[in-house]
Amino acid sequence: MLELNAVESGYGETQVLHGLSLTAQQGRVLAILGRNGAGKSTTLKTIMGLLPLTSGGIVFDGQPVSGRPFETARSGIAYVPETRDIFPSLTVRENLEIAARRFSRAGSGWTMERVLELFPRLGERMGNGGAQLSGGEQQMLAIARALLMNPRLLILDEPTEGLAPIIVKLIHDKLQELKTDGLSMLIVEQNFGFATSLADDIIVIGKGEAVWSGSAEDIRADDDVQHKWLGV
C-alpha cells in the first residue's frame, strides 16, 4: 500500500537517504530498524512531506504522495512523531477535538468514544492540560489523535521511547489490538523485542539504504544480522 522507490532526501546539503526502497503492505505491520542516525526518522519525515524528496518516488495506494504534510494526512496516513507533538497548553479533550474536527471522514469508524474505550486513562484526564500528562499519557494521546484522523496507514516513530516498562507493555497491547483490527502500520522502534513481536515484516536501514529485509521471525533467529546492523 506504501511504496518507496530509490528515495533520496536529507537536510539541505546533507543527504541522508541514499536510494532507499521499501514496501509496506496492506493489513500488515512493517518495522524499520537500524542504529542511531541510520535515517529512520528521516524516512518517516520524507514520507510525510516534512522533508523534500530529492530523487525517487513514494506511492500510497497507487497515488504519488503529495510532499505536503496536511495533504498526506488527508490521503490517509497518520504520523505520530518521536516528539509526540501534542498541544501542551490545550486540554486532552481539546487536543482530541481538533483532530476529530479536522479529519472527520464519514463512516470510517474512529470516534471520540471509541478512542476513549481504547485508552480509558485519557477519559480520566480529559480536563488536564497536555503539559500535565505523563510521558505514557502523552503517547496515548498522540496515538488517539492519530486514530481520529481515521488513517489507512498509521506511522509511529519510537512509540516506547522514554516510557516505563509497564506503559511499554500497555502500548504494545493496544497496537496489537489495532493490528488485529486490520490497521496497517509502519513503526520505527529501538526496542527490538517490541518491534519484532508486533511486526510481520522488518526492514533494516544502514546509512540511508536498506541493508536487510525479511520477516520478524527471520531476524529474531538471525544473530549475525542483529549484531552487524543493530548492535544487539
Ligand X SMILES: Nc1ncnc2c1ncn2[C@@H]1O[C@H](COP(=O)(O)OP(=O)(O)OP(=O)(O)O)[C@@H](O)[C@H]1O
Task: Please identify, using beta-carbon distances, which residue of 17 and 146 lies nearer to ligand X.
Answer: 17
* Least spacing, CB of residue 59 vs ligand X, in Å: 21
Cα 183 to its chain centre, rounded Å, is 12
Task: Please identify, using beta-carbon distances, which residue of 36 and 89 lies nearer to ligand X.
Answer: 36
Nearest in space to 30 (alpha carbons), one of 226, 201, 207:
201
Cα–Cα distance, 181 to 27 (Å, whole number): 9
Cα–Cα distance, 135 to 162 (Å, whole number): 7
C-alpha cell at 181: 483490527
Q: Is 202 helix (H, G, I), strand (E, B) or coil?
A: strand
231 binds ligand X, rule: CB under 6 A? no
9 binds, among Mg ion, ligand X, none (CB under 5 to 8 A by kind): none
The sign of the dihedral angle between the CA atoms of 164, 166, 167, 172 is: positive
Residues in contact with ligand X, shown as a per-residue x/- string from 190 to 229 under the rule CB under 6 A? x---------------------------------------
Residues 22-41 that bind ligand X (CB under 6 A): 34, 36-41
Residues 111-140 that bind Mg ion (CB under 5 A): none
Task: Please identify, using beta-carbon distances, which residue of 43 and 184 lies nearer to ligand X.
Answer: 43
Residues in contact with ligand X, shown as a per-residue x/- string from 39 to 78 under the rule CB under 6 A? xxxx------------------------------------
Residues 2-21 that bind ligand X (CB under 6 A): 11, 14, 16
Provide long-range contacts, Cβ within 8 A and 24+ apart, for 110-115: 110/147, 110/148, 110/149, 110/150, 111/148, 112/148, 114/147, 115/144, 115/147, 115/148
C-alpha cell at 21: 526502497
Total interface residues for ligand X by CB under 6 A: 12
72 binds Mg ion, rule: CB under 5 A? no
The span of 39-47, 55-63, 72-80, 199-207 binding Mg ion (CB under 5 A) equals 39-47
C-alpha radius of gyration, the chain, whole number: 17
Cβ-proximal residues to 5 (8 Å cutoff; 6+ apart), any chain: 21, 56, 57, 58, 59
41 binds Mg ion, rule: CB under 5 A? yes
Binding site residues, Mg ion, CB under 5 A: 40-41
Chain positions contacting ligand X, by CB under 6 A: 11, 14, 16, 34, 36-42, 190
